[in-house]
Chain A
């Protein structure tokens, strides 16, 4: 994928190849934390940050450490460990030096360690053979796309909760999955526009 413009890739990762709405990755925190805009945005912002940084770090780790040592098959384990360590480190730094940011992101950071979208972005970048710049664009774009999706649904769920007219069986995850389905239909419709793999 040498010839793909990073700008195009960035745009594609947000809209036409949204990692949540077209690949259905990171659904568990998405279902749980999209009850209101505030927490949805908090988690989304944390995902943007962690995804951008970990795709870049994992790109370096893969091509500078794993490939020369012929350990590509360990990529899953290594990526997970790198993500976990990175999240821990960021949490400590943020807690110490950015109390205001910690207040917004604080509890969401540890949750992200187990968010499969983060690992997914790292693995896609390897499978699709992105360069470092492309990986940066892809990581940031995917993160922003995830933020966009969860914030959209968070806003809808907040409205629905206030209207209070749902049948009992549809409350919570039920209606969220239906909304997600309709939203993803809309997003998938554009998925052929840009070829990113």
Chain B
């Protein structure tokens, strides 16, 4: 017994010693002193070097779009860095085209501020704000999905966004993560409601943010959200529309539908919604109601994993089966797809085969 205890103590002590060594090294080696970041050749910030450009800009209230939370997987946080920054890192190259590299575009969550930098940031990104939001209501949509209704507490003018855009929701440190974490979620509420914001969040196994909001977040809690980001928006046109969504990919589509029908548009709209089981059909009643009251709207849900016990007499299979069944070749429609990358990709390929040009297909991939 004594052996085990001394063994454990010695192992713990040596681990602690190594951790201490690393902490000391971090203090001395990762301290790059104060560096200057010049933005669009006008504003200058003096910042503490050593962190990534994305987080350094965030500390100075400039928020770049990012869906993965700075892990270098989404490639959305691109900025132009004409001076400074060193060569493009191997972690950046998968997200950059040759043209972008020539124009000094960088992935800001990978680039660390180790020297003075010049950064070019598009003017519209300055419109991105930080919002203080409070949970007003939580609806259970399906076993894994919840709808979170937030009230915008600050700033006063509320959230101004286009249907289809997303926000980054930040959750505070908890036992899941020592640091605040953020993830991107599309806004599911209509764009004409500025004082409130609704997000549909699927619980991802092991996901820090989704687990936090599902299991820890209470009505009345306050969080931080930044946005709006994204270019998955309705286009000005009179073409017939096809909307395709799976799972929580319905969120931006729902926001778009509310906007379209409030403005009384007469465009013909078809919505394909796919999920696994009957209980996954979120907003079934609402969409069904839309279908009944608007003759121009058709709602076709499909289920991929029904069993004998399910009393489901609707479509079975995947959304791609619906495309094959309902969409004729060379139809001049405009398509909006939102959901997991594999689904988006296979729908996109199928629609291209059906003779729909790429410029008429918009999509948003949920990683």
Residues of A within 8 A of B (CB): 39, 42, 65, 69-71, 73-74, 77-78, 81-82, 85, 88-89, 92-93, 95-96, 99, 103, 106-107
Tell me, in angstroms, the Cα distance from A77 to B86 when the chains sit together. Answer: 38
A selection of 27 A-B contacts at a CB cut-off of 8 Å is A39-B90, A69-B6, A71-B10, A73-B7, A74-B11, A77-B11, A78-B11, A81-B15, A81-B18, A85-B18, A88-B22, A89-B25, A92-B22, A92-B26, A92-B29, A93-B25, A93-B29, A95-B29, A95-B112, A96-B30, A99-B86, A99-B114, A103-B86, A103-B89, A106-B89, A106-B90, A106-B91
> Do A78 and B90 touch (CB < 8 A)?
no
> Do A65 and B14 touch (CB < 8 A)?
yes
Q: Mark B144-157, 1 if CB is under 8 A from A, else 0.
A: 00000000000000
Least CB distance, B83 to chain A, in whole angstroms: 16
Select one of A82, A92, A99 contacting B30, CB under 8 A.
A92
Tell me, in angstroms, the Cα distance from A92 to B26 when the chains sit together. Answer: 7
Residues of B within 8 A of A (CB): 3, 6-7, 10-11, 14-15, 18-19, 21-22, 25-26, 29-30, 86-87, 89-91, 112, 114
Q: In the complex, what residues of A have CB within 8 A of residue B87's CB?
A: 103
Q: In the complex, what residues of B have CB within 8 A of residue A81's CB?
A: 14-15, 18
Q: Please give me the residue from chain B that is nearest to A86 by CB atom.
A: B18
The 9 residue pairs across chains A and B that have the minimum distance between CB atoms = A85-B18, A92-B29, A96-B29, A107-B90, A107-B91, A88-B22, A71-B7, A92-B25, A103-B87
Tell me, in angstroms, the Cα distance from A106 to B234 when the chains sit together. Answer: 42
> Do B90 and A82 touch (CB < 8 A)?
no
Q: In the complex, what residues of B have CB within 8 A of residue A74's CB?
A: 7, 11
Tell me, in angstroms, the Cα distance from A81 to B19 when the chains sit together. Answer: 10
Tell me, in angstroms, the Cα distance from A107 to B6 when the chains sit together. Answer: 38
Tell me, in angstroms, the Cα distance from A88 to B26 when the chains sit together. Answer: 10
Q: In the complex, what residues of A have CB within 8 A of residue B25's CB?
A: 89, 92-93
Least CB distance, B12 to chain A, in whole angstroms: 11
Q: In the complex, what residues of B have CB within 8 A of residue A88's CB?
A: 22
Least CB distance, B14 to chain A, in whole angstroms: 7
Tell me, in angstroms, the Cα distance from A73 to B22 when the chains sit together. Answer: 25
> Do B7 and A85 touch (CB < 8 A)?
no
Q: In the complex, what residues of A have CB within 8 A of residue B90's CB?
A: 39, 42, 106-107
Given A96-B29, A103-B86, A107-B91, A89 and B21 contact (CB-CB distance below 8 Å): yes
Tell me, in angstroms, the Cα distance from A70 to B112 when the chains sit together. Answer: 44
